[in-house]
Amino acid sequence: MIKNKLIISDVTLRDGNHAVNHSISREIIKKYCKEAEKANIKIIEVGHGNGLGASSLSIGKSLITDEVALTTARKALKKAKLSIHSIPGFSRITDLQKAIDCGVDIFRIGTNSSEIDTVYSQVKFCNKKKVEVWGVLMMAHLVYNKKKDYLKKIKYLVDLGVKTIIIMDSAGIFLPGDIKEIFTNIKKKFKVNLGFHGHNNFGTAVWNSVIAHKYGAKIIDASIKGFGAGAGNTQLDILATVMARFNMKTNINLNKLYSLAKVFPTYFKKNVIKYKNPYSEPKNIMSANYGLFSGFASKVDYYSNKLNLDDIEAFKAIGKKKLVAGQEDLIINALYNLKKKKINFTK
């Protein structure tokens, strides 16, 4: 574990990959890693939007393989730690071994928080290999309730020997009061390093991150210009500035960070899929309100256009099905059924 009071973990090259259909190239990785290090960012996460081994026709094909992405980043990074995200089912033990061989420093193993027991084999493997392993409660709102089920999930990870746990607001549904409650309760019961990963559907990602740190989070995930699916992630350049105003020391060079934010969109000009600024549209607000995975946005857009459906109606249909991350292949079924109902109704 890097010994600072506050660590910004940069997820631009992983979660941001959702925003461009996983088309981040080795050239972009090389450029970004070099500039991010100049800004003194300590952790850089790289890979397919859904993490290690997730490249597929149903989820989305990466432009480059995991090995190419990781080895490119490893060569470009001189000081920063290289991180990967791994969701059991998408990734296998063999993928973890390849990542170890590529020089990955931090292995973030996570899944939908209601199914956290599925991380068992991968966490045990990482422990056996003596690599740094973090537990990630994805879609954390699924276990945020009056019974405080999230505490049971935290205990499961702690009992596995996990020393760092990330609370991931995959749907962008949490508000600052929720974050205060979650982190306060966890700190009361467990001696564990905590982190927070926010999405900006309700426009609260930066403030949620500040509150998370105030109440115990040592690690905050963020991406440059909020680069990510739908409404995007916690915006790194805003977050670092706000934290500086609160005297929360990130050790990030703000001038270098602003330079990176300005130049970053130009990395995509020669790509087939161009860079686009994330912002919260009504469909992203609807997505969060239904507790849907932010990464669904591009799939819903694609199938809504193909089937000539209103995107708001599309998100409502998926929300009623309560789909979670990893069920992207069921989006087309839900929207096809919606289309059939509309056709029958008009007849």
Annotated catalytic, 22?
A: no
One-letter-per-residue 3-state SS of the chain:
CCCCCCEEEEEEECHHHHHHCCCCCHHHHHHHHHHHHHCCCCEEEECCCCCCCCCECCCECCCCCHHHHHHHHHHHCCCCEEEEEECECCECHHHHHHHHHCCCCEEEEEEEHHHHHHHHHHHHHHHHCCCEEEEEEECHHHHCCCCCHHHHHHHHHHHCCCCEEEEECCCCCCCHHHHHHHHHHHHHHCCCEEEEECECCCCCHHHHHHHHHHCCEEEEEEEHHHCCCCCCECEHHHHHHHHHHCCCCCCCCHHHHHHHHHHHHHHHCCCCCCCCCCCCCHHHHHHHHCCCCHHHHHHHHHHHHHHCCCHHHHHHHHHHHCCCCCCHHHHHHHHHHHHHHHHHHHC
Tell me if 300 sits within 8 A of 311, measured CB to CB. yes
Tell me if 297 sits within 8 A of 15, measured CB to CB. no
d(CA 148, CA 94): 35
d(CA 112, CA 164): 17
Q: Residues with catalytic annotation?
A: 18
